[in-house]
Structure 1
């Protein structure tokens, strides 16, 4: 499985439990983050052994980012991937062109390599999701909490208002 995302904190918020589960079952897993990632946040989520590759692209994603993303994703997948390859990518959201770019590149790679494409998205109340164990949920809460300041910075750079709490 290769997970590709615009931001590491956002990936953990949307799919941290799934990534923990895959890693705990021995599923080979790599993470590619377009705009930056803090490896400590992944470690706090119980993903210490998962390689996190950072492209460090600017925000918003610059023109030509698709080529850089596709090259990096292809390098991670390799010339002759194992059967059963899956690619986890962000689902498109209104007013988030960065997610659309990453999702488009993941879709191209999935078609080229014959991989299954899975999309992550913010969990909507009342919809089914992956049920976390108590330990997975605790690690995910801790990691997402540690990434909150970074997420606020990302939202500010993208000019997206931070969600209200309480």
Structure 2
């Protein structure tokens, strides 16, 4: 299935194109982008992120869109919805997530793109709830979650199974938003 395109006042959330892989690698090789995420080892691993995003759209009709700011950049980052791929106390669930090139931080793009993805999830997909996760010290992402109206599930903290035991990024906080 082809990914739909979403539009906001300043942004276009669109399907992946081969040319996006360069911007993705540039973003994911920046330590500021990856401060609260497991590192991406090399260009092949970065390309695999785009492959998984495209495959998720093909399977489910939604996923992580490339975020373009027309007249500013063809690749500001990505944002969207994915099925949570592991078993945890809140799964099965759909998670909203984003990753932006630091050159485009501080412009409200994450919040604007995430609102479009949430609207798609609730209005088009008919989801009842969407979750978001991050490490406790990622205050920028937590602020976006709160601007979106998401509430922290105080009893919902958990250890991310894909992160090694003892790693400082293993513990995650859980935010939830129900369709209103």
Bigger proportion of residues as strand:
2
TM-score of the alignment, normalized to the shorter chain, above 0.5: no
TM-score by length of 2: 0.31
Give the structure, 1 or 2, with the largest relative contact order (CA under 8 Å, sep 6 or more): 1
TM-score by length of 1: 0.33
